[in-house]
Amino acid sequence: MCDHAQHVAMPDRIAHLIPGKETPSEMLICEIDGDHPVVDDAWAIWDPHLQDHVHEESMGEEICNECSGPLKTEEYHILNSVAIKQSRDRITHELRALTARLAQPLDAGPGPISSSGSSARVWLKEVCGHCGAEGPLIDAYSEYDPTTLTHDLTTTFDKGHYCRACDGDTRPKTERLSNHEVMALVPDIKARIVRLEQELAEFDRWVVAHAPEYCVNAEWIEKIAKAAGCPEQVCTA
């Protein structure tokens, strides 16, 4: 495969963009007040690598989070420069989070999760309260970003969770991972970091070759060119 900058494929994260300053799109807004946040009824899941809940799946029901009023579809114009920068930010944010998590020392010993000291560094997992299976689905709300076509969690609820292993409602339990379980995660975390590093490098090569066609600031492109694939060296503000 040719690796010349001009032949670098457009990254999947921004494949919805068209050349120029803007890309036409649509978004849902509240008819009563367009500034009210619209949220999706969604499932979240515990990511053992990031040690946090992440969006897993949308249920296809959007509502106004302020007044539950009716929604309407409105034309929305994506600023291509913003979409490109924010998409890169998402790669670097996950990359930094995983790298920092991997560098975190293992917990020094047992103790309640809420205790201070070394327990502040514990690694956790979420399991079904009935069968013990990992990764129950957590009832949540998420906000859809029409610029990057991504979902961000806004709320996770105390009830309404589901276990795919039990095929029924559940109340999850949070448990501490043993040092052995943490070490078993390390190879997958390292592999995930490598994939993100490769994605970032490919993203940056595309930026250098094609971002001017999408009206991205030349100064920012120059910074990318000087530090391609290096998340710590480029400010995307």
Closest CA to 202 of 20, 16, 22, 4: 4
Tokens 């068209």 -> residue: 18
- Which residues in the chain show pLDDT less than 50? 1-5, 110-120, 236-237
pLDDT of 60: 85
Structural contact between residues 30 and 69, judged by C-beta atoms closer than 8 angstroms: yes
Residue 232 pLDDT = 63
In angstroms, the CA 192 to CA 234 distance is 21
Are 56 and 42 within 8 A, CB to CB? yes
For strand 150-156 and strand 138-145, is the pairing parallel, antiparallel, or unpaired? antiparallel
Task: Show me where the domains of the chain are located.
Answer: 40-58+80-106+117-233
Q: What is the pTM of this model?
A: 0.87
| pLDDT score, position 3 | 47
**Tell me, what's the pLDDT at 120?**
46
pLDDT, position 112: 46
Report d(CA 214, CA 154) in Å as an integer: 30
Please report the pLDDT score of residue 154 as a whole number: 95
What is the tens place of the pLDDT at every residue in 163-204? 999 999 999 999 999 999 999 999 999 999 999 999 999 999
